[in-house]
């Protein structure tokens, strides 16, 4: 019998949860009004490359094919033609030069990262801003700006730092002694001015903005341990001394506006220390990934790719309805079943949604865990194989609510229990969602229209689940 402590559940793979990527892996982040996502970067001969099909896939209808001499890509109604080992690109009768030669590796078209900004601007027909030092791409006017100000404190109380953002944000938060780190992986935050704000205050002295490897981070420096609280629909973050430290903190004079600033190197250090609880409604787990291709839905369509693109769409639809969401796998990366369960349990969501695709049947299949017998649970330890036991009733309730909402939307639904890991390792409500092929056949699983329709329907149904299921136990 394998047992695991509740503390271990929260700490396993904390670095993956905080950074969204392994430290060695280079990433590029793309932010748009439709979705935000990150992709791995490939080093070839000292140059950084990224797969163009993967870059465009979340943004619209895209397909690609290679012949003896060219790699041809179609995005919506725009045709592009690339020649391996050459820089010239043909775009609907005109030409564009890449900064380094186009590469074709095993049918995958690679373009230099340094050319993505101007290339995407030509393809999408609008403004694209690219920060090459941090590998962050902003499509259109999507940047989220923020301000920071120390609030005047009453006598005998500790001061607070109030940060206001122009849109809701969902950072991962960690503490390190007297520093509080906020890591923004899916939020396109940018500083309104200087990258270092200093305050005339002893309790909270500065806020430092850094960015690198597709992410941004804000570090708050204080004189004692700090904690953060969200409000205003996650547009405001209030930071103050942790309760134990606040009792000992001396009263400070009212602070003025930020004073001086300085430039910061673009590569932030990974946040260290203990995470503060996050208010995620859902963890979305795109099954398979990396070396695990999943089912071969067609000769050119792997399950791992479809679950990832659908997971990104579902996250966007959920968050557009105010349901904060963590996407476990936001790239073609390998995660074991134990890793998926540990990362989910550490995030403390209301519900866990595992995504699968099927090339047979129709509609949607919903699964809850079928737990094995036995398994000892004590006050300090949970049996790993039956960790779902205390939440199984909530999982079954969520499935019933979800099925009703989807049926009301005229989507065929079948519900069942199955020994499908990692459902039995999850310590909150947990569901596996298997989406079957559309009437057009298995290839339609990769269709933007079909994925968007199903993601919207599921997200709307999850809003109904949220109203009736309540918060996490």
Instruction: Answer yes or no: are the C-beta atoms of 210 and 219 closer than 8 Å.
Output: yes
Instruction: Answer yes or no: are the C-beta atoms of 298 and 339 closer than 8 Å.
Output: no
pLDDT in tens, 180-205: 999 998 899 998 767 888 887 888 99
Report angle CA 434, 437, 439 to the nearest 5 degrees. Answer: 145
pLDDT in tens, 46-68: 999 999 999 998 888 889 998 87
pTM for the whole structure: 0.52
Domain annotation for the chain: domains and CATH numbers: 42-134 (3.30.457.10), 144-269 (2.60.40), 282-469 (3.40.630.40)
| Residue carrying the six token digits 């695990």 | 292
pLDDT for residue 80: 94
DSSP string, 156-222: TS--EEEEEESS----EEEEETTEEEEEESS--EEESS-SEEE-S-SSEEEEEEEEETTEEEEEEEE
| Residue carrying the six token digits 């960790």 | 387
pLDDT for residue 420: 85
* Residue ranges of the chain with per-residue pLDDT less than 70: 1-24, 152-157, 193, 243-279, 373-382, 470-473
**Rounded Cα distance, 334 and 168, in Å:** 30
């Amino acid at each position: 019998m394998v047992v695991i402590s509740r503390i271990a559940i929260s700490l396993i793979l904390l670095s993956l949860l905080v950074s969204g990527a392994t430290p060695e892996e280079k990433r590029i982040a793309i932010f748009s009004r439709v979705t935000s996502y990150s992709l791995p970067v490939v080093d070839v001969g000292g140059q950084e490359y990224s797969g163009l099909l993967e870059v465009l896939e979340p943004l619209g209808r895209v397909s690609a094919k290679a012949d003896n001499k060219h790699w041809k890509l179609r995005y919506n109604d725009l045709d592009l033609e690339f020649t391996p080992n050459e820089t010239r690109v043909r775009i609907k009768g005109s030409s564009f030069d890449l900064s380094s030669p186009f590469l074709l590796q095993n049918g995958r078209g690679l373009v230099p990262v340094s050319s993505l900004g101007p290339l995407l601007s030509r393809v999408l027909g609008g403004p694209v801003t690219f920060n090459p030092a941090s590998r962050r791409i902003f499509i259109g006017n999507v940047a989220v700006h923020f301000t920071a100000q120390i609030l005047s404190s009453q006598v005998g109380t500790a001061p607070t730092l109030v940060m206001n953002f122009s849109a809701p944000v969902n950072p991962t938060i960690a503490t390190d002694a007297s520093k509080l780190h906020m890591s923004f992986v899916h939020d396109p935050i940018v500083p309104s001015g200087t990258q270092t704000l200093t305050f005339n205050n002893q309790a909270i002295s500065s806020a430092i903005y850094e960015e690198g490897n597709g992410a941004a981070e804000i570090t708050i420096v204080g004189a004692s341990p700090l904690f953060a609280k969200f409000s205003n629909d996650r547009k405001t973050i209030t930071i103050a001394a942790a309760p134990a430290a606040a009792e000992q903190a001396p009263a400070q004079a009212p602070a003025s506006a930020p004073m001086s600033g300085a430039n910061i190197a673009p590569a932030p250090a990974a946040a260290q220390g203990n995470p503060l609880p996050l208010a995620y409604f859902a963890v979305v787990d795109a099954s398979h990934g990396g070396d695990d291709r999943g089912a071969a839905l067609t000769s050119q369509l792997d399950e791992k790719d479809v679950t990832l693109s659908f997971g990104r769409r579902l996250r966007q639809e959920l968050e557009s309805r105010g349901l904060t969401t963590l996407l476990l796998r936001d790239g073609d990366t390998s995660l074991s079943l134990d890793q998926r369960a540990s990362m989910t349990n550490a995030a403390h969501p209301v519900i866990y949604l595992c995504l699968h695709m099927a090339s047979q049947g129709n509609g949607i299949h919903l699964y809850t865990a079928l737990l094995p017998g036995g398994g000892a649970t004590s006050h300090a330890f949970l049996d790993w194989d039956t960790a779902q036991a205390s939440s199984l009733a909530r999982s079954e309730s969520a499935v019933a609510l979800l099925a009703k909402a989807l049926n009301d939307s005229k989507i065929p639904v079948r519900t069942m229990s199955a020994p499908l890991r990692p459902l039995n390792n999850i310590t909150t409500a947990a569901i596996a969602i298997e989406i079957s092929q559309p009437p057009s056949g298995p290839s339609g699983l990769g269709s933007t229209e079909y994925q968007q329709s199903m993601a919207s329907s599921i997200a709307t149904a999850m809003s109904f689940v949220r109203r009736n299921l309540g918060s996490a136990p």
